[in-house]
Amino acid sequence: MPERRLSRRTVFVTAALVPGAVALAGCKDDASGAGTPGTNGAVNGTPTSPGPTGETPTVDPAVVAALSTAATQVTQLSQLYATASRKFPALRARLAAGAKYHVSHLAKLKETEGVAAKAARSAVPASAQAALAAIAQQEKAAAVAHAAAAAKLSGAPARLLAEIAASETQLSSTLTPKKKDAP
Q: Which of 7-11, 118-122, 158-162, 167-171 has the lowest mean pLDDT?
A: 7-11
C-alpha–C-alpha distance, residues 111 and 15, integer Å: 30
Asked whether the beta carbons of 77 and 134 are under 8 A apart, the reply is: no
pLDDT of residue 150 exceeding 90, the answer is: yes
Dump pLDDT digits (tens) for 61-85: 999 999 999 999 999 999 999 999 9
CB 45 within 8 A of CB 111: yes
Which segments of 9-111 are extended strands (E)?
42-43, 46-47
CATH topology of domain 59-176: Ferritin (1.20.1260)
pLDDT tens by residue, 31-46: 444 444 444 445 444 4
Q: Where are the domains of the chain?
A: 59-176
